[in-house]
Amino acid sequence: MSADLFTAFAAASVRVATPLALAATGETIAERGGVINLGIEGAMLSGALASAVVAVSAGPEWGIVAGVAGGIVAGAVFAAAVVGARADQIIAGTAITLGFTGITGLLARRVWGTAGAGLSVPTLAPVAVPGLAVIPWIGPAFFNQSLLTYLCYLLIPAAAWLLFRTRFGLELRASGESPVSAAAVGVRVARVRVAGVLIGGAAAGLAGASLVLAQVGTFTERMTAGRGFIAIAIVVLGRWNPFGVAAAALLFGAATALQFLLQATGSTVPYQFFLALPYLLALAVLGVAVGRSRGPAALGRPH
Amino acid sequence: MTALALDAHLPTARSIGRTAGAFVLGLSLLVVFLLAAGFNVTEALAALWNGAFGSWYAFTSVTLVHATPLILLGLAFTLGSRAGAFNIGMEGQFAVGAVAATWLGLELTGVPAILALPAVMAAGALAGALWIAAPVVLRVRFGVTEVISTLLLNFVADAVVSYAVTGPLQEPSRVYPESAPIAASARLPHILPGSRLHLGFVLALVIAGLLWILLRKTTGGFKLRAVGAGPVAARVTGKIATVTVLATALLGSGALAGLGGAMEVSGVSYALYQNLSPGYGFTAIAVALLGAEEPLLVVLAGLLFGALDAGAGVMQRDAGIPAVAVQVVEAVVLLTVVVSGRKRE
């Protein structure tokens, strides 16, 4: 493999991994608090639509902000259902994803008509980091990306700091391991869990924004295509640790980018195999990863 | 929570009323969203009604035809869920069931229907069961939740269909991404004159009745509900082999979803296409929960959502409202049901 080809492959891996890492980092925080949110697929769509709409009129930077807001809205509905009303998390999450698929499809039609958003959405161009972008092989891949990828680099250690170095993180993890004990020592479990879910929603919205502004360049109905669900698998693979999650997201980015690489080298393997590869990989690693690690003990249980 | 006994409840007026109530609430919220988004609501609702009930043809050939896979997949979800496992991968099992049925249906030219039809149905069911086999193994051997594994396999199934219709099962001229029509004898017959309603609808009703008997009148069904209600208690005090019961229920769930795919090919499309299901596998979760995971109520819920799906097609065509909007109704129904804690009576 030539250096050019490798660089292109690595750059595509990082670009594809960015929304996955963002969504999965947020979901890690929610899950550490004991809440699994299958609705992050819907939160990503909500963020994607909001960012596309706002980016058209106010520019891509405001699109990022709108994406976060869109994700928080979806997270808030989910939090109200599972923390407020103690609803089953799996079903409520499925409902959020279905609902926001419908709402975003409806609103996209309203805003852009049958023609869709097309190429009217302004995007975030890659910005080379002086000094780092010229590192041979990996420099252009990691340091010639959009603003959102750099934001992701900052959010991963920030999430780890939040989880393992702050009082909130301690309370969150206690709520995820044993909500009853946590409540007994004065942790307001419901409030902490809501915060975790909202952070997860915000991150998923940011992931949606990055999909629109830095990867696809437009909004289309159902454009997340299961990335939210992959992010949930990535959380398991990354063992509920932001750094592990980042590595797992990169692995999935690479598995997805593999199809570009093989197309470039003229492979005869049907392209559908590469479409399926990230999902098959997720399934295989779940078997290996779950056997050796353990999620938050109270994950999925209402308190 | 159901009292665990081998008794035989039939749906009551109250449970039917609650099912209809949650559905109406979902529909009302869709109207609110449509109003808020500035769509013409009168036009939308008229189109929705006409598409679902506007004529005998619309009712039998669209509403009931759409209700068939929804009932079947709603029963599939019910079977897993009553044993305590969520099969979120029905969309994928439906797809591979359709692939298997198409493959066999293409091979069976000249074979009499009495042999060809059961073979095609069995192929679909088997494919669906095989598709969920890996998640079952992952769950019972490695403790991986079936929620994520079944969900991920939906996307793999999409790739399988895409490969099939552009590769081994593509029509002979190799122009369109679809299969050739299956053998005439492998097609489910229509059951009403002047209507496209096929035998699969009757089969779905029969399966609902059988599942009701299984859950309510047999020891196996009692064990299944016991495992769903509390696996530890079932194992310790009931001496029930929880793993076997759970695995069987999930495999059965996959088989029913695969059968749904086979019926869609054999009764409706007669060929394999991409995106054969407009999301039946997810709508069916709402169907199952709206039907309180009681097979006979699931039939009613399937009919309601079948009507909604049928109406959505016309709403998209006549009122310019994307059909995906009905997922708002599904979401509201799901949330209403889980929030009100009425997962089971």
Other CB atoms closer than 10 Å to residue A204's CB: what's the count? 40
CB contact under 8 A, B325 and A221: no
**Predicted confidence band of residue B345 (pLDDT cuts 50, 70, 90):** very low
Confidence of residue B343 (pLDDT cuts 50, 70, 90): very low
**Mean pLDDT across chain A, nearest whole number?**
90
Chain B (21-40) residues lying within 8 Å, Cβ to Cβ, of chain A: 33-34, 37-39
Retrieve residue A265's tokens: 């080298």
* % of chain B with per-residue pLDDT over 70: 96
Whether B133 has its CB under 8 Å from any CB of chain A: the answer is no
| Predicted confidence band of residue A274 (pLDDT cuts 50, 70, 90) | confident
Task: Give the whole-number percent of chain A exceeding pLDDT 70.
Answer: 98
How would you classify the pairing of strands A127-128 and A144-145? Answer: antiparallel
Four-residue CA torsion sign, A246, A252, A256, A262: positive
- Residues A81 and A89 sit within 8 Å (Cβ to Cβ): no
Query: Where does chain A have alpha helices with state H?
Result: 3-32, 40-58, 60-79, 89-112, 139-143, 147-165, 167-177, 179-184, 189-210, 227-237, 242-264, 271-292
The residue of chain A nearest to residue B36, with distances taken between CA atoms, is: A107
Distance from C-alpha of A215 to C-alpha of A25, rounded to nearest angstrom:
19
- Distance, CA of B262 to chain centre: 12
| Distance of alpha carbon A283 from alpha carbon A260, whole angstroms | 22
Of B33, B88, B160, the CB nearest to A94: B88
Q: Which of B34, B149, B328 comes nearest A99 by C-beta?
A: B328
pLDDT band for A293, please (50, 70, 90 cuts): low
**Among A90, A100, A283, whose Cβ lies nearest the Cβ of B86?**
A90
Lowest mean pLDDT among A153-167, A185-199, B319-333: B319-333
Residues of B in contact with A89 (CB under 8 A): none
State residue A247 phi and psi, 5-degree precision.
-65, -40
Span A75-89, average pLDDT? 93
Mean pLDDT lowest among A113-117, A225-229, B16-20, B271-275? A113-117
Per-residue pLDDT, A301: 84
Q: Residue range A24-35: average pLDDT? A: 97
Task: Give the minimum alpha-carbon distance from B112 to chain A in angstroms, rounded to a whole number.
Answer: 35
Check if the beta carbon of residue B309 is closer than 8 Å to that of residue B291. no
When pLDDT is averaged across residues A287-294 and rounded to a whole number, the result is 71
CA distance B150 to chain A (A): 9
Q: Look at residue A251 and tell me whether its pLDDT is greater than 50.
A: yes
Q: What are the chain A neighbours of B159 within 8 Å (beta carbons)?
A: 272-273, 275-276
* CB-based contact A283 B153, cutoff 8 Å: yes
Q: What is the pLDDT of residue B3?
A: 47
Q: Which of B31, B318, B324 to mutate to test the interface with A (most CBs of A within 10 A)?
A: B324
- Higher-confidence residue of B263 and B236: namely B263
Mean per-residue pLDDT, A150-175: 96
Mutation target among B152, B280, B289 for the A interface, most CBs of A within 10 A: B152
Q: Which spans in A126-241 are helix H?
A: 139-143, 147-165, 167-177, 179-184, 189-210, 227-237
Write out residues 231-290 of A within 8 Å (CB-CB) of B: 232-233, 236, 270, 272-273, 275-276, 279-280, 282-283, 286-287, 290
Q: Do A102 and B39 touch (CB under 8 A)?
A: no
Q: What is the average pLDDT across A126-146?
A: 84
B160 touches chain A (CB under 8 A): yes
Distance between CA atoms of residues A183 and B135, nearest Å: 35
CB within 8 Å: B321 and A106: yes
Higher pLDDT, A118 or B105: B105
**Is-contact A204 A40, C-beta < 8 A?**
yes
The residue that leads in pLDDT, B47 or A264, is B47
Nearest chain A residue to B324 by CA distance is A102
Interface mutation vs chain B, best among A91, A109, A293, most B CBs within 10 Å: A91
Q: Does A58 touch chain B (CB under 8 A)?
A: no
Position of tokens 């991986």?
Answer: B144
Smallest CA-to-CA distance from B26 within A174, A7, A95 is with A95
pLDDT grade, residue B9 (50/70/90)?
A: low
Which residue is associated with the tokens 């209507």? B195
Kindly state the average pLDDT of the residues A3-24: 91
How many Å lie between the alpha carbon of A31 and the closest alpha carbon of chain B?
A: 14
Complete DSSP assignment for B263-296: HHIIIIISS-BTT-SSSHHHHHHHHHHHTTT-HH
Kindly provide the residue ranges of all beta strands, DSSP E only, lying in A12-134, ordered along the sequence.
127-128
Contact A105 B142 (CB under 8 A): no
Instruction: Report whether B131 contacts B196 (CB < 8 A).
Output: no
Q: How high is the mean pLDDT of chain B? A: 91
Per the model's pLDDT, the better-predicted residue between B195 and A138 turns out to be B195
A191 contacts chain B (CB < 8 A): no
Looking at residue B107, its pLDDT comes to: 95
Three-state DSSP class for residue A218: coil
pLDDT in tens, B110-138: 999 999 999 999 999 999 999 999 999 99
Return the pLDDT at B341.
Answer: 64
- Chosen for mutation from A35, A94, A107, A223 (greatest number of chain B CBs closer than 10 Å) is A94
Residue A133 distance to chain B (closest CA, Å): 35
- pLDDT at residue A28, as a whole number: 97
**Which of these ranges, A39-43, A66-70, A138-142, B172-176, has the smallest mean pLDDT?**
A138-142
pLDDT at residue B344 in the model: 41
Q: How far is CA B279 from CA B242, B333, B340, in A?
A: 31, 16, 25
- Which residues in chain A are closer than 8 Å to B337, comparing Cβ atoms? 91
Find the mean pLDDT for residues B148-152. Answer: 91
How distant is the Cα of A293 from the closest Cα of chain B, in angstroms? 11
Residues in a beta bridge with A128: A144
Residue A151 neighbours by CB under 8 Å, 6+ apart: A64, A206
Structure tokens at A121: 């959405």
Query: Which of these, B295, B81, B80, lies nearest to B209 by C-alpha position?
Result: B295
Residues of chain A found within 8 Å of residue B329, distances taken between Cβ atoms: 102
Beta carbon pairs, A and B, within 8 Å: 149
Of all helices (H) and strands (E), which one includes residue A144?
strand A144-145
Q: Which helix (H) or strand (E) holds A145?
A: strand A144-145
pLDDT surpassing 50 at residue B342? no
Strand partners, B315: none
Please tell me whether residue B301 adopts helix, strand or coil conformation: helix
Amino acid at B291: G
Average of pLDDT values for A120-138? 83
For A164-209, how does the pLDDT look when each residue is reduced to its tens digit (9 = 90+)?
Answer: 999 999 999 999 999 999 999 999 999 999 999 999 999 999 999 9
Closest A-chain CA to B280: A98
Partner B, chain A 194-213, Cβ-Cβ below 8 Å: none
Q: Quick one: pLDDT at residue B46? A: 93
pLDDT at B285: 92
Q: Do B285 and A94 touch (CB under 8 A)?
A: yes
Supply the pLDDT for residue B95.
98
Residue A89: Cβ within 10 Å count: 26
Residues of B in contact with A110 (CB under 8 A): 37-39
Over range B87-94, report the average pLDDT: 96
Which of A:59-98 have CB within 8 Å of B? Answer: 81, 85-88, 90-92, 94-96, 98
Helix axes A227-237, A189-210, angle to 10 degrees: 120
Residue B325 has its nearest CB partner, among A102, A230, A282, at: A102
Highest mean pLDDT among B15-24, B45-54, B68-77: B68-77
Report the gap between the CA of A65 and the closest CA in chain B (Å).
Answer: 22
Note the pLDDT tens digit of each residue in B183-214: 999 999 999 988 999 999 999 999 999 999 99
The average pLDDT across A212-240 equals 90
Question: A68 vs chain B: nearest CA distance in angstroms?
Answer: 21
Q: What is the pLDDT of residue A253?
A: 93
Share above pLDDT 90 across residues of chain B, in percent, rounded to a whole number: 64
